[in-house]
Chain A
Amino acid sequence: MSCNLSKAAFLQTFRKLSCVHSQLLLLRGVHVSQFKPPVVPTDIDPFPLFMEEGVQTILNDITGIDLKKTALLQPKKLPLKPVLRAVPDKELKRLQADSFKKERSKIEQRPPFMRARKEISRELARNPEIAPVMTNNLLFIDTSAFTRSERANKDKVVVVRDTEGTLRTATQEERDRAIQIAFPVRGRTIFPSSFFKPENLHNALQRCRYSYVLDKVCVQYDPDHPEFLRITKEIYDYILERMEFDALRGTRHFGSMAFYLSLCHREYELVLDMLERKLIVDVMDYIRLHRKIHSQEGSKGSLSKPLGYDKKNFEKLMGLYMKRITGNRKKQAEKMVESLLEAGLPEIIKENLSQRELIDSYLKLETNVY
């Protein structure tokens, strides 16, 4: 036990941790190690890159669809009666395809990775002569036509008349509150709950409820909100430190996380994790994405054409990738690749591809017809 905690505190935290990996980390005392949190580069604008179609398809493919994960028991307020049915083969496939499609549409709604929004301060008019009449600030919202609540924050005009008599555009915080009152988003509160405070957030993370917290954050904040960026970064760093990428695989947050890691040049851990799980095709896609993000042309540069997924191309790609990394990491990666070659690389690739084809075949099935 080489950590700095006292015995009682150690036991308390150990019991709280539900994942084996974090427990091991605690035992090793790694939580006090020199983990350097990734730094987001300022020179790249991530949003247009993220929204590119090629990038999105890669992120979809990496995430995959895991029906076993979606079928895990989720506690509801009232336990609803399960329905039993006897169905023939074709009908079962249709039903499965239905849930595959639903799952994919959920995954496609991944929160975009954006820069933090800028503060607005624009004075429209100054009338100090009406100041004696003004007792409070007056806030005006354009409620002329209903827009979708997701878009409302961007479209609507919100204007404030000060007690000093100046007419100005509302600050971002004022906008948020005003628009939530006029066009309420379901599940969002005007004053954010104390759940998002760092101490409470840490408690939830210790129980490995990453996707649950991320879903909550997505409801409460817009993706360009500075608070959103802070919390998501905290969670992604937490996962990176513990190498628990598998907890998010199959959810809509996996793509965002992979993009963030690649943007901050911390893709190595994820690549290693994929190699460990024998997801060769995913590794090839992910490295392609990484090279695209950090190519000199930036968002203008196009994605390299997908090479054929075979042994030769994999070795070539890994060789190129290995040139950039150095030292201890390089040795580790080389060792992994060697062990994969011994295990029979072509068979693994074939298995990965068949897995993807299965998902694609389900997504192509027509679900409306019996």
Chain B
Amino acid sequence: MSWIRVGFSATKNIIGYTSILPSTGCQGCSTSISPGYSLYQYTQIQSRNYSFVNKVGSDQLWGGVTSVSAAGRKRGRTKSVKRRINLNIGQKIGYGKKGMQLPGLNTWVLTKSNERIKAGSQTDEQYEITLDSIRDFRGSTKKSRLKRKYPNPLNRGYNSSLLNGTSLGMPAPVRDETFEGFDSVLIEGKKVTNITATEGKVFASRALVAVGNGNGLAGFAVAKAKHPEVAAIKARDKAGQRLMFVERYKGHTIHHNTHAEVHCTKLFAKRTYDGHGVVAHKVIKDLCRLSGIKDIYIKLEGNTKNRITMTTAFFNAMTHQETHQELANRTNMHVVEFSEERNNVPVVLASPEDGKVQEKYYGSERDVYDLDTLYTKGKLHWTRPQMRPVWERLRFTSYQRRMAKEFRRRGQHEAQKVRRLCGLEPSKEERMRRDEVPKKEE
């Protein structure tokens, strides 16, 4: 028997361990191990009741299991290592297997009638069950790393992980001036580096923030700081002091088509009708919201990744507009709007303030004063014409066959509605009756 042999050459700990075995061992094999009892009776048992478990603190103990070396951490071994388990979960001082009453610990010392409560004992059956259930629950759930909390899509910016595109609130007040009604957007937060002689690579963060009140006042600024949030707030307050006024036509769109160019970024802005909405790059959508432009079409060309040039180009285009009144004064002509929605009646938007109106066109002026191309040096932004699909362009036979097949059914859905209104559409039963095939008489 292996355990007997072990008994002879065992260390004292193991002997102590073996001594327990017979009392708890299985009774089914008592016959086979009976010779061992004789040996057991004559050996002298030494036992010293201490273990390293009593001497070493729990933190140190757990450290042996959970810690990773510095080299290992670099290689990402922290991911695979075991996590610490709370062994005391569900336990509470004063509550235990025996649901004892301990006045001052788990009950009041005095009753209502100022009598002392005596410590009493009674068994608590529920205690163990709850403890087990808590431990089971912990075992059943998968232990995972801390999950990132995703912000609500309405609150987050351009990207869920970064702060870009989020609001930073209104800028800090300057003296007694408060920026009520203003809002700000962090357009870009970026880590920038500087290499110094003494320290090597030094990191800093840079923030581009735009502010505006949504009613013609807007501005932007760039600021740097060591911490990204500090840089953002610094830029926000700076932008509050660099406000510009954006001219708008009837408070919804710009006065005329314009363009602006900053370094490699080109920006084309088109005026649109009421209700068109803002169709632009996501950054420029925010800028339009802050400056109060509701209907515009903006196309960016060239470098579309540089957000600083983008914003400068936007503000350049918006602040260099010529209002209709200014145009009328400059040219000594009426500025007139035509639209089919107004039956093509000439609506005079502005006429010269001094009253001196030019009598008639001179020379080739008629071509020049088309306001769509006046401010873009006679050029229009070119849009690619929409291509029809190949089968439609080349008139494939299969396509023509399909169209011929659908010819009868085309537009019937609309026609059915009209018939229903006029009371001509047959009811369901009537149609079923009509569809029934009459039986042939034999």
Contact = CB atoms under 8 A, between A and B. Distances in A.
Interface stretch (A77-85, A143-151, A293-301, A354-362): A77-85
A193 B358 CA distance: 53
A82 B324 CA distance: 14
Interface in B283-334: 324, 327-328, 331-334
Contacts of B357: 88-89
Given A70-B345, A92-B348, A99-B345, A83 B338 contact: yes
B336 A95 contact: yes
Nearest to B328: A86
A89 B359 contact: yes
B335 interface: yes
Which range contains the number of A residues in contact with the other chain?
Answer: 20 to 34
B393 to A, nearest CB: 25
B358 A92 contact: no
A84 B335 contact: yes
Contact of A191 (B276, B342, B370, B424): B424
Contacts of A370: 360-361
Given A90-B359, A92-B346, A82 B273 contact: yes
A44 to B, nearest CB: 36
A72 B361 contact: no
Interface string A47-70: 000000000000000000001001
Contacts of B324: 84
B386 interface: no
A96 B372 CA distance: 22
B422 A82 contact: no
A89 B328 CA distance: 12
A76 interface: yes
A80 B343 contact: no
Contacts of B371: 84-86
B102 to A, nearest CB: 69
A86 B273 contact: no
Given A86-B371, A92-B348, A81 B336 contact: no
Given A86-B371, A89-B357, A76 B340 contact: yes
Interface in B389-429: 418, 421-422, 424
Contacts of A87: 333-334, 336, 346, 369
A105 to B, nearest CB: 13
Interface string A254-282: 00000000000000000000000000000
A67 B324 CA distance: 22
B194 interface: no
Contacts of A90: 359-360
Given A84-B371, A87-B333, A194 B421 contact: yes
Contact of B336 (A75, A85, A193): A85
A364 to B, nearest CB: 18
A109 interface: no
B292 to A, nearest CB: 20
B62 to A, nearest CB: 70
B275 interface: yes
B343 A99 contact: yes
Nearest to A73: B341
B347 interface: yes
A71 B340 contact: no
Contacts of B328: 86
A123 interface: no
A74 interface: yes
A220 B199 CA distance: 88
14 contacts: A71-B343, A76-B340, A79-B341, A80-B341, A83-B337, A84-B349, A84-B371, A86-B333, A86-B335, A87-B334, A87-B369, A88-B334, A92-B348, A194-B421
Q: Which 4 A/B pairs are nearest by Cβ-Cβ distance?
A: A82-B339, A86-B369, A84-B371, A71-B345
